[in-house]
Structure 1
Amino acid sequence: MISRTAIDRIVQYYGRDILEHENMEITKSAMQHGTVSTYEHSLKVARLAVHLADKLRLWNHVDLRSLVRIALLHDYFLYDWHHVGDGSHRFHGFRHGFRAARNAHRDFSLDKVERNGIRHHMFPLTPIPPRFLEGILVSLADKISATYETFHIERW
């Protein structure tokens, strides 16, 4: 099993352009779950997705670059869904994957694996699951991270 330091290096290596993008500043001030920002949540999901790939011995079946990019961009919707009083984000859980994919496609060059993983990471709220293993791992990591964050359990 690889170390947390190695996992952090993988996330930084494959996600550098995303992490350094000016719009990631928006995600640093938008809260996601409890007191965890969307930026912190996305980093946690990326770390956990890589950890899951390692733990499940999926190295020969996963494109690490796509895995990290999906994880970092899965919530790239660029607003704080808690503070919109006009009701426009009422169905946030069902729709934000598509908005995140649209924003990510605008700001980064995405392949079909990345677009699909971002769009469908909210399965089963979105009726169609991710088609590729990278998206499935991110969807699982997202649910695990969200559970820890919602109940204020420090893990990733």
Structure 2
Amino acid sequence: MRGFTKSKLNLKIDSKTYDEYKKCISDLTKNETVRSMDRFIQHNNITCMEHSIYVSYISYSICRRLNFDYRSAARGGLLHDFFLYDWHTTKTNDGLHGFTHPYVALKNANKLFKLNDVEKDIIVKHMWPLTIKLPKYKETFIIVFVDKYCAFLESVRLANKANIYELMSNIF
């Protein structure tokens, strides 16, 4: 079973769609505050930036294949965990991280970027059902499930870091 699961984790990155993906997020990845996400560990040895790129690219690929708004999926996926603190050590008075970080991420993203409604929904509702309010857009549902999939793989150390590094290699 583990071998089967690992075989399914290898992303196929074709240069045409990857170049298109990079165009969707290029203004975000040029921003130093976005780049600072690489300073915070998300799951095990995966940084917040690595996790967000992983979620962003897989969501972009799925939405592109389904003729959904793949640009918003790529951008919302990249910013979904834009909370900018180490959640393992930082405790806030607002409540538990799992419930509150989507609102912090949206506030941070709104300060730096003009977001469309789909991107905002993705960021603030990516933790559904914890966020209680149902996602409004089909792209948000894609992010919800892809985020949980990636987080699971990262948490049980099945995420292929080489794939994530390949995704990031031409972005930065």
Establish whether TM, by shorter chain, passes 0.5.
yes
Q: Which residue number corresponds to residue 58 of structure 1?
A: 66
Q: Which residue number corresponds to residue 116 of structure 2?
A: 111
In structure 2, the gaps of 5 or more residues are 1-10, 164-172
Return the structure number with greater helix share: 2
What's the offset of the Cα at 1:11? 2.6
Mapping for residues 135-150 of structure 1, pairs under 5 Å = 135-150=140-155
Matched, 1:69 2:78: no
RMSD of aligned Cα (Å): 1.9
User: How far apart, CA to CA, are the structure 2 residues paired with 1:119 and 1:143?
Assistant: 15
Matched, 1:19 2:1: no
Equivalent pairs, count = 150
User: How far apart, CA to CA, are the structure 2 residues paired with 1:37 and 1:97?
Assistant: 17
Equivalent of 2:137 in 132, 136, 144: 132
Equivalent of 1:99 in 78, 101, 104: 104
What's the offset of the Cα at 1:21? 0.6
User: How far apart, CA to CA, are the structure 2 residues paired with 1:88 and 1:39?
Assistant: 25
CA offset digits 1:45-102 (Å, max 9, x no partner)? 0111123235xx411xx11211111100000011111122x55475000011111011
User: How far apart, CA to CA, are the structure 1 residues paired with 2:117 and 2:130?
Assistant: 21
Per the alignment, do residues 89 and 8 of structure 1 end up closer, same or farther by CA in structure 2, a change over 3 Å counting? farther
In structure 1, the gaps of 5 or more residues are none
User: How far apart, CA to CA, are the structure 1 residues paired with 2:115 and 2:84?
Assistant: 17
